[in-house]
Amino acid sequence: MNKDLHDIDDLFRSGLDTYEVTPSAGVKERLDAELDKKDAESYKKRLIGWKRTALLLLLLLTGFIIYETGLLKIGSGHPGKRTTDKQMNNPSGEKHEETLQNNIVPGNTNDKASNNDASSYNKEAIKNNPEKEQPISLAGVEKKETPGIQPGPDKDINGFLKTIDILPAEKMKEKKREFFKPFWMMTGFASYDQAGYQLDSDEPSAITSIKHREAHEPSFSLGFLLTRQLTDRWGLQSGVVYTNTTIGMKPQKTYAFRDPTGDVAYKYITSSGYAFIKPGFGTQPLVGDSLTTAEAKHTIENITVPLAIKYTVSDKKISVTPGAGIEANFITKANLEVEISDTANSEIVIIRKLNGTKSFYWSFVADAELRYNINKKLSLTVRPVYRHAISPITKNNVVETFPHSFGLGAGVTIKF
């Protein structure tokens, strides 16, 4: 019998081991179509990467421009540079730069000594080079209103005004900004969030399947935001925010796979990662076995640190502060609570840490704080906010997940 059996093995082996047959042309056509699709997706992914980089650079550039143009002057002693428009018209190309530190009256208008310093600097400059147009400090321009500042002996104030292109209205605004004293604000808030996600995958069926069985439940966030108001308009904001997102999962069929430790367990896949479930009852599953789970709950918790640029428009009682920036998100918890049962047993399995979930991701944030000032120090704040991940929260999962959320928060802001 053994000989017959080996004969039949040899017979098939020798007959078919080198067997070749040309597949139909349709296979190559479908393959080309798939490869084209993959190329397009790969191009799209590269483009997304560039878009994210561009966004980050744009934010950095905005900050840099604001800083360099002198819109942000951190404190009265900040050595931010200011150049008059006259310099642009200087045919000799000579630079007439002056620092705000040296030539502009500090925040305190009654600081006589400082005013005298500024005034004497201008006098010196004019004496030394009477033919040349001198860089003019705003302190000098405001001479008539500011005691202690005298125009130089060779030129009167009108002469000075001719040398600069700043209009009186702009000049006043500029002065007001220079007298602005930076301050801090702290906002404590709680927010109701409606979360969602954008899924990317090479397998469209995986996206459909996950979207079908998962539904976001109302989520919330809590935190405090610290704002440094650098000018009357511009500010920088950071803080710490805790976010809790809950996703309800419909009953689903899971299949047994070999887990990384070599054991066979049921693989439960979510949009944030996957877990291997080993029931405490029944026999050890074999690869390919299936198990239908009941409804489940998936919770993700983040600690977020934002960095945003804020722009404030205000009157006495109300101020609106839109802003945009980036957030560093630390996923502190991604757990799964699922009920499994067979005919005789039932068990609730809690997975504390999902596989395939990153511990960190970046997101973009845009918000608008609406503040009602109760008094000079205290205000009530309403804050709609939108955030969208710019890097996925998953790795080695069937889908790449980019969470987003729209939240409406309320809180209290203290100025100090």
Partner 1 sequence: MEQPTKLIQGCIAGERAFQTKLYDLFAPKMMGLCLRYAKNWEEAEEILHEGFLKVFTYIDKFKGTGSFEGWIRKIMVNCALSRYRNKSHLHPVIRLDTLGYDPRSETNIASSLDTKELVSLIQSLPAGYRIVFNLFVFEGYKHREIAEALGITEGTSKSNLSDARAFLQKALSVKKTLVNYNEA
Among 151, 223, 158, 258, which residue's Cα sits nearest to residue 367? 223
Residues whose CB falls within 8 Å of the CB of residue 339, separated by 6 or more in sequence, listed in order: 293, 294, 295, 296, 346, 347, 348, 349
Contact (CB, 8 A) for 378 and 412: yes
Give yes or no for residue 65 binding partner 1 (CB under 8 A).
no
Q: How many helices (H) and strands (E) does the chain have?
A: 8, 15
Q: What whole-number distance in Å separates Cα of residue 278 and Cα of residue 289? A: 12
Q: Site for partner 1 (CB under 8 A): which residue of 117, 200, 289, 337? A: 289
Q: Should residue 13 be labelled a site residue for partner 1 when binding is judged by CB under 8 A?
A: yes
Is residue 353 near partner 1 by the rule CB under 8 A?
A: no
* C-beta of 12 vs 192, nearer to partner 1: 12
- The smaller minimum CB distance to partner 1, of residues 18 and 375, is found at 18
Decide if residue 47 touches partner 1 (CB under 8 A). no
Assess 43 for contact with partner 1 (CB under 8 A).
no
Closest approach of partner 1 to the CB of residue 101, in Å: 58
Provide the sign of the torsion angle of the four alpha carbons 257, 207, 394, 293, taken in this order.
negative
Interface with partner 1, residue 226, by CB under 8 A: no
Contact of 271 with 357, CB cutoff 8 Å: no
- Which of the stretches 14-22, 233-241, 243-251, 403-411 binds partner 1 when contact is defined by CB under 8 A? 14-22
Instruction: Establish if 288 lies at the interface with partner 1 (CB under 8 A).
Output: yes
Q: What is the DSSP string of 324-379?
A: EEEEEEEEEEEEEEEEEE-SS-EEEEEESB-BTB-SEEEEEEEEEEEEEESSSSEE
Residue 131 interacts with partner 1 (CB under 8 A): yes or no: no
Kindly state the smallest distance separating residue 269's Cβ from partner 1, in Å: 16
Among 51, 81, 212, 258, binds partner 1 (CB under 8 A): 258
Q: Is 34 in the site for partner 1 (CB under 8 A)?
A: yes
| CA gap 166, 176 in Å, rounded | 14
Closer residue to partner 1 (CB): 8 or 313: 8
Interacting residues with partner 1 (CB under 8 A): 1, 4-5, 7-9, 11-13, 15-24, 26-28, 30-32, 34-35, 38-39, 255-256, 258, 264, 286-290
